[in-house]
Amino acid sequence: MNFERARFNMVEQQIRPWDVLDPRVLQVLETIHREDFVPVRYRKLAFADLEIPLSHGQCMMRPKIEGRMLQALDLKEDETVLEVGTGSGFISACLSRLARHVVSVDCHQDLLSEADMRLADHGGDNVELFHGDVMRGWQPELAHDVVVVTGSVPSIPEVFRGWVNPGGRLFVVTGESPAMQAMCLTRIGVSEWQEESLFETDLVRLENSEPAAGFEF
Protein backbone atom coordinates (compact mmCIF):
# COMPACT_ATOMS: atom_id res chain seq x y z
CA MET A 1 0.00 0.00 0.00
CA ASN A 2 1.28 3.46 -0.92
CA PHE A 3 0.86 5.26 2.40
CA GLU A 4 2.08 8.60 1.05
CA ARG A 5 -0.58 8.57 -1.65
CA ALA A 6 -3.25 7.38 0.79
CA ARG A 7 -2.35 10.18 3.23
CA PHE A 8 -2.52 12.76 0.44
CA ASN A 9 -5.92 11.43 -0.66
CA MET A 10 -7.19 11.52 2.94
CA VAL A 11 -6.36 15.21 3.20
CA GLU A 12 -7.64 16.17 -0.25
CA GLN A 13 -10.78 13.99 -0.40
CA GLN A 14 -11.96 13.91 3.22
CA ILE A 15 -10.44 16.68 5.30
CA ARG A 16 -10.17 19.66 2.96
CA PRO A 17 -13.73 19.20 1.56
CA TRP A 18 -15.01 19.38 5.15
CA ASP A 19 -13.85 23.02 5.25
CA VAL A 20 -10.53 22.33 6.97
CA LEU A 21 -8.40 24.97 5.24
CA ASP A 22 -5.91 26.05 7.93
CA PRO A 23 -2.50 25.48 6.28
CA ARG A 24 -0.80 24.56 9.58
CA VAL A 25 -3.40 21.91 10.34
CA LEU A 26 -3.26 20.49 6.82
CA GLN A 27 0.53 20.33 6.95
CA VAL A 28 0.44 18.40 10.22
CA LEU A 29 -2.07 15.90 8.86
CA GLU A 30 -0.05 15.54 5.65
CA THR A 31 3.25 14.87 7.42
CA ILE A 32 2.51 12.81 10.55
CA HIS A 33 2.34 9.12 9.65
CA ARG A 34 -1.13 8.23 10.89
CA GLU A 35 -0.58 4.61 9.89
CA ASP A 36 2.08 4.29 12.62
CA PHE A 37 -0.50 5.13 15.31
CA VAL A 38 -3.12 2.63 14.14
CA PRO A 39 -3.21 -0.93 15.58
CA VAL A 40 -1.36 -3.24 13.20
CA ARG A 41 -4.46 -5.19 12.16
CA TYR A 42 -6.13 -1.95 10.99
CA ARG A 43 -3.09 -0.36 9.34
CA LYS A 44 -4.55 -0.48 5.84
CA LEU A 45 -7.62 1.39 7.12
CA ALA A 46 -5.55 4.20 8.64
CA PHE A 47 -6.82 6.76 6.11
CA ALA A 48 -10.40 5.53 5.72
CA ASP A 49 -13.35 7.74 6.70
CA LEU A 50 -14.16 5.72 9.80
CA GLU A 51 -13.29 5.34 13.48
CA ILE A 52 -10.41 2.95 14.15
CA PRO A 53 -11.01 0.61 17.13
CA LEU A 54 -8.51 0.62 19.98
CA SER A 55 -8.41 -1.58 23.07
CA HIS A 56 -10.75 -0.99 26.04
CA GLY A 57 -13.60 -0.02 23.71
CA GLN A 58 -11.88 3.22 22.69
CA CYS A 59 -11.30 4.47 19.15
CA MET A 60 -9.43 6.94 16.97
CA MET A 61 -11.64 9.70 15.58
CA ARG A 62 -12.42 9.86 11.88
CA PRO A 63 -9.74 11.93 10.10
CA LYS A 64 -12.09 14.76 9.16
CA ILE A 65 -13.26 15.09 12.78
CA GLU A 66 -9.63 15.38 13.85
CA GLY A 67 -9.07 18.06 11.22
CA ARG A 68 -12.10 20.13 12.19
CA MET A 69 -11.18 19.90 15.86
CA LEU A 70 -7.57 21.02 15.32
CA GLN A 71 -8.72 23.91 13.12
CA ALA A 72 -11.36 25.09 15.60
CA LEU A 73 -8.79 25.24 18.42
CA ASP A 74 -6.62 27.68 16.43
CA LEU A 75 -3.53 26.69 18.41
CA LYS A 76 -0.64 29.11 18.81
CA GLU A 77 2.99 28.04 19.00
CA ASP A 78 3.39 29.39 22.56
CA GLU A 79 0.28 27.71 24.03
CA THR A 80 -0.04 24.73 26.33
CA VAL A 81 -2.57 21.94 25.84
CA LEU A 82 -4.23 19.38 28.09
CA GLU A 83 -5.51 16.34 26.21
CA VAL A 84 -8.02 14.17 28.07
CA GLY A 85 -7.77 10.69 26.54
CA THR A 86 -4.40 9.87 24.96
CA GLY A 87 -5.65 6.86 23.04
CA SER A 88 -3.30 5.98 20.20
CA GLY A 89 -1.24 9.14 20.65
CA PHE A 90 -2.04 10.48 17.16
CA ILE A 91 -3.87 13.58 18.36
CA SER A 92 -1.09 14.11 20.91
CA ALA A 93 1.42 14.11 18.04
CA CYS A 94 -0.67 16.61 16.05
CA LEU A 95 -1.04 18.90 19.06
CA SER A 96 2.70 18.72 19.72
CA ARG A 97 3.42 20.21 16.29
CA LEU A 98 0.98 23.08 16.80
CA ALA A 99 1.60 24.06 20.45
CA ARG A 100 4.49 24.57 22.84
CA HIS A 101 3.72 21.81 25.33
CA VAL A 102 1.13 19.03 25.61
CA VAL A 103 0.01 17.22 28.76
CA SER A 104 -2.00 14.08 27.93
CA VAL A 105 -3.77 11.80 30.40
CA ASP A 106 -5.33 8.37 29.96
CA CYS A 107 -6.71 5.84 32.44
CA HIS A 108 -5.25 2.84 30.57
CA GLN A 109 -1.55 2.23 31.15
CA ASP A 110 -1.14 -0.05 28.13
CA LEU A 111 -2.47 2.64 25.77
CA LEU A 112 -0.11 5.18 27.36
CA SER A 113 2.90 2.89 26.98
CA GLU A 114 2.15 2.29 23.30
CA ALA A 115 1.51 5.99 22.68
CA ASP A 116 4.78 6.86 24.42
CA MET A 117 6.75 4.65 22.01
CA ARG A 118 4.96 6.04 18.97
CA LEU A 119 5.50 9.63 20.07
CA ALA A 120 9.19 8.96 20.66
CA ASP A 121 9.45 7.85 17.02
CA HIS A 122 7.65 10.96 15.78
CA GLY A 123 9.38 13.74 17.67
CA GLY A 124 6.84 14.21 20.42
CA ASP A 125 9.46 15.51 22.85
CA ASN A 126 7.10 18.22 24.13
CA VAL A 127 4.39 15.72 25.16
CA GLU A 128 4.09 14.70 28.82
CA LEU A 129 1.98 11.61 29.54
CA PHE A 130 0.08 10.85 32.77
CA HIS A 131 -1.83 7.82 33.99
CA GLY A 132 -5.09 8.85 35.64
CA ASP A 133 -8.87 9.12 35.36
CA VAL A 134 -10.27 12.65 35.13
CA MET A 135 -13.71 11.38 36.11
CA ARG A 136 -12.34 9.90 39.32
CA GLY A 137 -10.22 12.65 40.76
CA TRP A 138 -7.19 13.15 38.51
CA GLN A 139 -6.35 16.85 38.13
CA PRO A 140 -3.67 18.68 36.12
CA GLU A 141 -1.10 20.62 38.11
CA LEU A 142 -1.88 23.82 36.18
CA ALA A 143 -4.60 25.25 33.97
CA HIS A 144 -3.90 25.24 30.22
CA ASP A 145 -4.55 27.46 27.23
CA VAL A 146 -6.42 24.65 25.46
CA VAL A 147 -8.21 21.55 26.76
CA VAL A 148 -9.11 18.78 24.30
CA VAL A 149 -11.45 15.95 25.34
CA THR A 150 -11.21 13.02 22.91
CA GLY A 151 -14.19 11.07 24.25
CA SER A 152 -17.79 12.28 24.50
CA VAL A 153 -19.59 13.20 27.72
CA PRO A 154 -23.35 13.40 28.43
CA SER A 155 -22.86 16.98 29.64
CA ILE A 156 -19.76 19.10 30.23
CA PRO A 157 -18.33 18.57 33.73
CA GLU A 158 -17.75 21.90 35.45
CA VAL A 159 -14.26 20.79 36.44
CA PHE A 160 -13.21 20.80 32.77
CA ARG A 161 -13.91 24.52 32.57
CA GLY A 162 -11.67 25.15 35.55
CA TRP A 163 -8.70 23.72 33.66
CA VAL A 164 -8.87 26.44 30.97
CA ASN A 165 -6.88 29.67 31.24
CA PRO A 166 -8.64 33.02 30.55
CA GLY A 167 -8.81 33.42 26.79
CA GLY A 168 -8.35 29.67 26.36
CA ARG A 169 -10.49 27.11 24.55
CA LEU A 170 -12.16 23.81 25.42
CA PHE A 171 -13.11 21.24 22.77
CA VAL A 172 -15.62 18.62 23.83
CA VAL A 173 -18.28 16.41 22.25
CA THR A 174 -21.44 16.31 24.33
CA GLY A 175 -24.96 14.90 24.19
CA GLU A 176 -26.53 11.54 23.44
CA SER A 177 -25.90 9.12 20.57
CA PRO A 178 -26.44 9.31 17.67
CA ALA A 179 -26.76 13.12 17.57
CA MET A 180 -24.00 14.63 19.70
CA GLN A 181 -22.59 18.14 19.29
CA ALA A 182 -18.91 18.99 18.93
CA MET A 183 -18.43 22.20 20.90
CA CYS A 184 -15.67 24.79 21.20
CA LEU A 185 -15.96 26.91 24.34
CA THR A 186 -13.82 30.04 24.74
CA ARG A 187 -13.24 31.45 28.21
CA ILE A 188 -13.65 35.22 27.97
CA GLY A 189 -13.87 35.94 31.70
CA VAL A 190 -13.74 34.34 35.12
CA SER A 191 -17.18 32.80 34.66
CA GLU A 192 -18.11 33.99 31.17
CA TRP A 193 -17.88 31.70 28.16
CA GLN A 194 -18.54 31.93 24.45
CA GLU A 195 -19.93 28.63 23.16
CA GLU A 196 -19.82 27.57 19.51
CA SER A 197 -21.47 24.45 18.13
CA LEU A 198 -19.15 23.17 15.41
CA PHE A 199 -20.85 20.13 13.92
CA GLU A 200 -22.98 17.09 14.73
CA THR A 201 -21.19 13.80 15.32
CA ASP A 202 -21.20 10.62 17.40
CA LEU A 203 -18.23 9.61 19.55
CA VAL A 204 -17.36 6.87 22.02
CA ARG A 205 -17.90 7.91 25.64
CA LEU A 206 -15.05 9.14 27.78
CA GLU A 207 -14.22 6.42 30.29
CA ASN A 208 -16.44 6.57 33.41
CA SER A 209 -18.32 9.65 32.22
CA GLU A 210 -21.67 7.88 32.45
CA PRO A 211 -23.38 7.78 35.88
CA ALA A 212 -23.21 4.35 37.51
CA ALA A 213 -26.30 2.16 37.19
CA GLY A 214 -28.86 3.07 39.81
CA PHE A 215 -27.30 6.46 40.45
CA GLU A 216 -29.78 9.29 40.85
CA PHE A 217 -29.08 13.01 40.55
- State pLDDT tens for residues 65-76: 999 999 999 999
Residue 211 pLDDT grade (very low, low, confident, very high; cuts 50, 70, 90): low
Is there a domain that residue 217 lies in? Answer: no
**pLDDT at 55 > cutoff 90:** yes
216 pLDDT above the threshold of 70: no
- Residue 190 pLDDT grade (very low, low, confident, very high; cuts 50, 70, 90): confident
Is residue 119 situated within a structural domain? Answer: yes
Residue 215 located in a structural domain? no
**Percent of the chain's residues with pLDDT above 70:** 97
Range of the domain at 152: 51-62+72-201
Q: Is residue 214 part of a domain?
A: no
Say what the pLDDT of residue 71 is.
97
Cβ-based neighbours of 145, under 8 Å, separated by 6 or more: 76, 79, 80, 81, 99, 164, 165, 167, 168, 169
Average pLDDT, the chain: 95
CATH number at residue 174: 3.40.50.150
Task: Note the pLDDT of residue 214.
Answer: 41
Residue 38 in domain: no
Q: Say if 143 falls within a structural domain.
A: yes
pLDDT for 157 beyond 50: yes
Q: pTM of the full predicted structure?
A: 0.94
74 residue type, one letter: D
Has residue 103 been placed in a domain? yes
Using the predicted structure, report yes or no on whether residue 126 has a pLDDT greater than 80. Answer: yes
Is-contact 139 98, C-beta < 8 A? Answer: no
Residue 46 has pLDDT above 70, yes or no: yes
For the cut 80, the answer to whether the pLDDT of residue 212 exceeds it is no
How many domains does the chain divide into? 1
Report the 10 Å Cβ neighbour count for 171.
21
Q: Is residue 26 part of a domain?
A: no
Q: Which own/partner contact pairs does 25-30 have at CB distance under 8 Å and 24+ positions apart?
A: 25/67, 25/70, 25/71, 25/98, 26/67, 28/70, 28/94, 28/97, 28/98, 29/63, 29/66, 29/67, 29/70, 29/94
If you average pLDDT over residues 84-104, what whole number do you get? 98
pLDDT band (50, 70, 90) for residue 213: very low
Q: Predicted confidence band at 98 (pLDDT cuts at 50, 70, 90)?
A: very high
Cβ count near 27 (within 10 Å): 13
Tell me the percentage of the chain whose pLDDT exceeds 90. Answer: 94
pLDDT at 215 over 90: no
Cα–Cα distance, 198 to 212 (Å, whole number): 29
